[in-house]
């Protein structure tokens, strides 16, 4: 295996889990990512409990985990917006992320096929994976 391919495999970060708990009218989201080498990166966020707010909380937790995995400060990446879209018979999470160093906003999406927190986390990874060189 050549060195470039070996280096790429070391950078790959995989989604493991997203957990959303509700207590006292607050949602706490925890997202876990892991490298194939075993390093684990956890992001957390707290927000309100309405559906769109909880999706945004999960997306912020995923962004925090992705920044940790990439070794960058979360202050350079901001979640601009989260939308739930109904198209073609499927609900989809769409996120827009502003990165200080990017020329354009980063946009990612994921069709919801079960857990909405999982879809939010995968939409964030979809938006950031090339920019942060995670996958």
pLDDT in tens, the chain (135 residues): 344 444 444 568 999 999 999 888 899 999 999 998 899 999 999 999 888 899 999 999 999 999 999 988 888 899 999 999 998 899 999 999 999 888 899 999 999 998 999 999 999 999 999 888 887
Supply the range of the domain harboring residue 105: 3-128
Tell me the C-alpha distance between 19 and 74, whole Å.
20
pLDDT given for residue 11 in this prediction: 60
Q: Is residue 134 one of the residues assigned to a domain?
A: no
Residue 135 falls inside a structural domain: no
- Determine, yes or no, domain membership for 99: yes
Give CA–CA dist 15/69, Å, rounded. 11
**How many domains are contained in the chain?**
1
- What confidence score (pLDDT) does residue 102 get? 83
Residue 82 near residue 90, CB atoms below 8 Å: no
Cβ atoms of residues 110 and 122 within 8 Å: yes
CATH number of the structural domain spanning residue 86 = 3.30.160.270
At residue 103, the pLDDT reads 85
Record the pTM.
0.88
Task: Characterize the bridge pairing of strands 90-99 and 77-87.
Answer: antiparallel
For residue 50, being part of any structural domain is answered with yes
The answer as to whether 96 is a domain residue is yes
Task: Decide: helix, strand or coil at residue 16.
Answer: strand
Give me the sign of the Cα torsion angle 21, 22, 24, 26. positive
Asked whether residue 90 is domain-assigned, the answer is yes
| Residue 63 within a domain | yes
């Amino acid at each position: 295996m050549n060195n470039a391919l070996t280096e790429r495999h070391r950078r790959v970060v995989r989604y493991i889990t997203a957990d959303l708990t509700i207590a006292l009218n607050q949602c706490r989201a925890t997202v876990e990512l892991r490298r194939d080498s075993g390093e684990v990166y956890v992001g957390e966020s707290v927000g309100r409990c309405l559906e769109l707010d909880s999706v945004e909380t999960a997306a912020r937790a995923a962004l925090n985990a992705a920044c940790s995995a990439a070794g960058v400060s979360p202050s350079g990446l901001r979640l601009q917006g989260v939308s739930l879209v109904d198209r073609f018979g499927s609900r989809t999470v769409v996120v827009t992320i502003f990165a200080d160093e990017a020329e354009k906003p980063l946009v990612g999406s994921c069709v919801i096929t079960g857990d909405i927190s999982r879809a939010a986390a995968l939409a964030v990874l979809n938006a950031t994976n090339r920019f942060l060189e995670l996958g």
